[in-house]
Every structure is written in structure tokens, then in C-alpha cells.
Chain A
Amino acid sequence: MKITLDADKCCAAGQCVLIAPEVFDQREEDGVVVLLDAEPPVEQHDAVHEAAAICPAAVIEVHA
């Protein structure tokens, strides 16, 4: 799995951080998403898919 972000679309909802805190974080100043692990281990994959699906700004793209 490889994750890419379109971070300038981010609305700082922070849902990705709630769902996959080992993969995503938020910038302290404005809450914009930060990618902690672009190629997370398999045990994180379900959470990452969930985070990508739920992101209200469609910022997270998951590549196989």
C-alpha cells in the first residue's frame, strides 16, 4: 500500500487521525493533515481505507 495526499484540499476535520493515528497526524498551526507513514504495514490497511473513505475532503488516496 502507498498513500498520497492532496493536502491543500484538507479541511482539518481530523477524522483520519482518529481512525489511523499511526499513519496520520495534523499540523499544529492549522490542522492540515500530515502523513506519518506513506507505506504503512498491513495491519494498518483497514484503518487507512476507512480513513480515506471517510475523509470529508477526499484528500487521501490509497494505491495498491
Chain B
Amino acid sequence: MTGLPIAVVGASAAGLAAVEALRRSGWRGPLTLIGDEPHLPYDRPPLSKQLLHGDWTPEKLTLRTAEQLAPLALDLRLGTRATGLDVATRTLTLDGGEQLGCAGVIIATGVAARTLPGADRIAGVHTLRTLDDALALRSGLANGGAPGSEDVAAGGGGGGRRVVIVGNGVLGCEAAAVARELGHEVTLVGIGPTPMAAVVGTEVGELLAEEHRARGVRLLTAAVDGFETAPADQDGAGDPRVTAVRLAHGGPPGSGGVAAGGGTRLPADLVLLAIGSRPAVGWLDDPALDTTDGLRCDTYCAAAPGIYAAGDVARWDHPVHGRPLRFEHRMNATEQGMAAARNLLAELAAEAPAAAEDAAPAQERRPFAPVPYFWSDQYAVKIQAYGPTAGADRVETTVLDRAERRALALYGRDGNAVGVLAAGLPPRQARALRAVVATPLPWEEARERVAAATADG
């Protein structure tokens, strides 16, 4: 028995899945779970949906209660940040200065929201990645009478505030839907003309754009240049408050509000920056690790001997797709957390059979080969997609019912179909599509199978 812990860095979905899988797979040694947020592991997808809407309380997002975690006998370090990792000795440094020597490490630090310079010092400008972010934004959406918004309250007319969402990817679109449902005046600004196009292609993106427009969201194509602000209050205490978003090259004709200098300004009471995210790899400075666009891993999710990664932060060689992939999908976080845990245990058992009493019975490492899955809910439209849809060199979209936003799309790369998307399809049909792209399939064959899978109903 070595007595050294396995440490899992990152206490969100992937980290939680990893510690649970480690115990299920027989790890009886010490197990440390390190999370930089103060909260027990919670679920992120509802942040931009049910939580933001006010339908769910924060408690409902908790993935496991303290009672449910107790049997795992975790050394749980919440509110703790890992600041360094020495790969050769598998030693973590924590923000209190503690050095933690480990039998193995699983890195599941996820991603951090990108922001714009200075934005964190402007009241009313938000990002949306953590529970605390979401609660702050929700409070802004719920409270029409926040400081600085007297003019809006006076202007009344239903109490809706002027909400500008910068970034028309998945997160921006979901938040726009919620803000609109809450009765706010919503403008969705993206650099690309079509929402979510990078992930779903232009035709599905245009279908979503139609739904947003039909619900009263204004869509603009522009880059953001900066913000205009007003002093916080009479005393000058606190951060200045956002009053407008400045667009870089002016909006399209008819977007209104042309400011001096030819740029466009969008009056705003509340701004959400949904401009993507960065893998949280800044703390990994060991040159043995490749941290270009996430932590580079092999097909087993190993970044180095005894060092594995899982979830949004991991860029690994998908054995079926033959290229490094990184997904910021909820499903991948769990699946990869489980896979990394099992493979780490297999490696530990193989490298020190004599010390294997802490570990599970020896098992082979297995390549991590999931069928990627993501979903998005906007208004009543549910989108589900299997396989890597981003990075396609060919997309074929079939709109089944324009008004109902029902559509199917097939995504190809190098002659094969690799991904499929269903919008508004019955669950059984959507599920049947998964099998079509479980492995890349010649394009024509995939088309026939998609047609067969959706023929009835």
C-alpha cells in the first residue's frame, strides 16, 4: 500500500464522475477531490436554462448531496485551487502552498468564460459559467429596479429591460431565449451572421434565427468595440454601470442608434458576454504537458504517465475519428471522467502490481471512444446531436416543418457522415439516429439510414 492519494482536480461533472468511478472500480486508497468553487458539485446546463429562468433553485442543480458523497470517503477540498503540477513526481501544488504527492492525478478543471478587457469592472456586464455567475445574471433579469435602471423602470411598458447578449453560440442563444421569455427587450449580437452556425451549420442556425426573431429577439451581426457606462451612484461608490454596448464597425442597415464617429451603440441595462471559453490549463506549467487548446491526451485520456484528463479541458485522440477532439458537452464530462478513472487504475495496477491492494483487479486500459452527444433547449425547440458536428466539411439539412422548427441534419467530413442532428423530433427517432453515426459511415449509406430511422412517425 502506497498511502498516496489519487487526486482529482476539478469538482464539477467530470471530476465527480471520476471519483465515483474510482471507488466503483475498486480504489480503496485515499481520494482527494479539489474544486476552486465553494459549492458541492453541481450541474451546469441548467444554469442558462431553468436556473436563469427562475424555475429551479440552486439546490436543484446539486449533483450529489453531502450524504450521497459520504460513502466515497473523499478528502474534499472545496474553495481550493491547484496552482501547479510536477508531472515526473505527480505532485500537485495547492493555493495554500501545500504540496500533495499523488499516486495518480485526473485533471478535470474545465473551461473558464472568455471576457473582454475591463468588463469585470463594469456593473451589469456578466459572463455565465458558474453558479455564482448565473445567480448574479438571474438577479439582474428578475429585478427591473436595480440601481441605474430608473429610466427603464420609468419608461416602463411591462418593465422589460434592455438586454444585450454578445455572442450567438449555444450559450448566448439559450440565454437570449430565457431573457425574452422573461419579457425583456433582447438583442443578440454575433460576429457571424447565423446563430450557432459553427456547431450546427447555417441552415439549422437560420431555423433557430427565425425562432428567435419570431419571439421578438433582435439579431445583429457585429463585433463589439467596448462599453459605455455611467457612474455607479451619487457617492461614486462601486463600479460604473453599463449603459450601452459599442459595436466596432456599425451594425447592418436599420440596426439604429448610430453614434458619433459612425459606430453603432446599443443601449443596454444588462449585458451578457457569451463569447466562448478557454480551457483552464493556465496552472499547468510543466513542459511535459501540451496545453495548446486544452490538455493534450492520448487515446486513453492520458496526458503523461499517471496523469489523466477528462471533460471540457481534455483534448484527446478519439480512436474512431482519428483526430484530437475536445468537447464542452455535459455528456462527455461524465463519460470521460469515468473512462479516465478506469484507465488510471489500470495503469497503476500494471505499473506496481505489488501495491495493487489499493487498486482494482488488473484490467486493460481502453481507448475512450464515445459517440459525442449534445442538446440545447431554446423556447420549445429541443436540439439533440450525435457525433462531432463542428468542423464538418459537408452539411445536409432537411427541414421537416419550418413553422414547427423540425429539422434533421447530417454532418460529413472527408467523405464520411460523422454527425447527425435532430430538432423537434420524437425521442425515439432522435435516439435511433445515434446508431447512424456511432462510427463514421460513407455519406450515401448514412443518408439512407437516416431516412429509414425517421421514416415512421
Contacts and interface: CB of A to CB of B under 8 A. Distances in A.
Interface of A: 9, 11-15, 17-18, 26-28, 30-31, 49, 53-54, 56-58
B349 interface: no
B334 A56 contact: yes
A25 B150 CA distance: 51
A28 B426 contact: yes
Contact of B428 (A15, A28, A57): A28
A27 to B, nearest CB: 7
B376 to A, nearest CB: 10
Given A12-B375, A13-B373, A56-B45, A31 B331 contact: no
A18 B43 contact: no
A49 B338 CA distance: 12
A30 B381 CA distance: 11
Nearest to A31: B427
Contacts of A11: 45, 375, 377
16 contacts: A13-B375, A15-B373, A26-B427, A26-B431, A28-B428, A30-B427, A31-B427, A49-B24, A53-B21, A53-B338, A54-B331, A56-B13, A56-B45, A56-B334, A57-B45, A58-B43
A18 B426 contact: no
Nearest to A12: B427
Contacts of B325: none
Contacts of A27: 427
A13 B331 CA distance: 9
B375 A58 contact: no
| Interface residue SS majority, chain B | helix
A30 B13 CA distance: 24
Given A58-B63, A58-B64, A14 B430 contact: yes
B335 interface: yes
Contact of A18 (B20, B21, B64, B434): B434
B323 interface: no
Contacts of B330: 56
Interface size class of B (residues with CB under 8 A): 20 to 34
Contacts of A13: 331, 373, 375, 384
Nearest to B335: A54
Given A11-B45, A26-B427, A54-B338, 13 more contacts: A13-B373, A17-B431, A26-B428, A26-B431, A28-B428, A31-B426, A53-B17, A53-B334, A53-B338, A56-B13, A56-B331, A56-B334, A57-B45
Interface string B333-357: 0110010000000000000000000
A54 B334 contact: yes
Nearest to A54: B334
B65 to A, nearest CB: 10
B366 interface: no
A45 B318 CA distance: 29
Interface of B: 13, 17, 20-21, 24, 43, 45-46, 60, 63-64, 330-331, 334-335, 338, 373, 375, 377, 382, 384, 426-428, 430-431, 434
Closest 5 CB pairs of A and B: A31-B427, A26-B427, A56-B330, A14-B431, A58-B63
Nearest to A9: B60
Contacts of A54: 331, 334-335, 338
Nearest to B64: A58
Which of A14, A26, A27 is packed against the most chain B CB atoms within 10 Å? A14
A56 B426 CA distance: 19
Contacts of A12: 375, 382, 384, 427
Contact of A31 (B20, B24, B45, B430): B430
Contacts of B21: 53
A17 B431 CA distance: 9
A58 B331 CA distance: 11
Contacts of B431: 14, 17-18, 26
Given A12-B375, A57-B43, A28 B427 contact: yes
B210 to A, nearest CB: 22
Contacts of A58: 43, 63-64
B177 to A, nearest CB: 15
A46 to B, nearest CB: 10
Contacts of A14: 427, 430-431
B406 to A, nearest CB: 14
Nearest to B68: A61
A43 to B, nearest CB: 18
A2 B43 CA distance: 24
Contacts of B338: 53-54
Contacts of B20: 53
A23 B377 CA distance: 26
Contacts of A31: 382, 426-427, 430
Contacts of A26: 427-428, 431
